[in-house]
């Protein structure tokens, strides 16, 4: 029943049924063309991805597996601003430590037990650390004087 009280015998959607049933040839051709282009693009992206992986993997080496309690040396690359007043950058040690691994966060990140004088985040990437190799037996090494960073001892 219609809102005026008269029943309608004719559908209010007259003319729209034919529109839905009609097929647009141009649109279908466009869709097919776009699907072909998308397939080609996926293949080309896959080839590019494989090639990039191949060249990137050439530079990657095996990663050391660190365990809790291991001793490691920390790179001074991120500590340069803390080493003000030290010898020239050219003569500064490349690694300081040894520091103990406190916790394994991820396969490429570890938490170190650092002294309060080292003002960096405790979690470091493994690219910034190297395994500590102790002194050879029978060889004595003199311990260097403590490093003073901005008035505090290390």
Res 45: pLDDT: 96
| Cβ density class 19-33: b for 16+ within 10 Å, e for less | eeeeeeeeeeeeeee
Edge-to-edge strand list for the sheet holding 71-75: 123-125, 109-113, 95-106, 71-75, 129-131
Per-residue pLDDT of the chain (154 residues; tens, 9 = 90+): 555 555 656 666 666 665 555 667 788 889 999 999 999 999 999 999 999 998 888 877 666 788 888 888 888 877 765 655 556 666 677 787 788 888 888 878 888 888 887 778 888 888 888 888 877 666 666 777 777 777 665 5
The rounded distance, in Å, linking the Cα atoms of 95 and 73 is 6
Query: Model pTM?
Result: 0.47
User: Are the C-beta atoms of 73 and 95 separated by less than 8 Å?
Assistant: yes
User: Are the C-beta atoms of 96 and 73 separated by less than 8 Å?
Assistant: yes
| Paired tokens of 19 | 């529109």
User: Are the C-beta atoms of 90 and 128 separated by less than 8 Å?
Assistant: no
């Amino acid at each position: 029943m219609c809102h005026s009280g008269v029943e309608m015998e004719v559908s209010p959607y007259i003319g729209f049924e034919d529109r839905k049933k009609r097929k647009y040839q141009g649109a279908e051709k466009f869709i097919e063309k776009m699907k072909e282009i998308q397939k080609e693009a996926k293949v080309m992206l896959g080839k590019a991805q494989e090639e990039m992986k191949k060249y990137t993997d050439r530079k990657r080496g095996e990663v050391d597996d660190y365990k809790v309690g291991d001793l490691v040396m920390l790179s001074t690359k991120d500590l340069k601003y803390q080493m003000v007043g030290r010898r020239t950058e050219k003569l500064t040690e490349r690694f300081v430590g040894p520091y103990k691994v406190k916790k394994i966060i991820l396969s490429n990140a570890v938490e170190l037990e650092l002294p309060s004088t080292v003002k960096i985040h405790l979690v470091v990437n493994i690219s910034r650390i190297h395994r500590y190799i102790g002194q050879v037996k029978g060889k004595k090494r003199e311990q260097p004087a403590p490093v003073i960073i901005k008035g505090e001892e290390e």
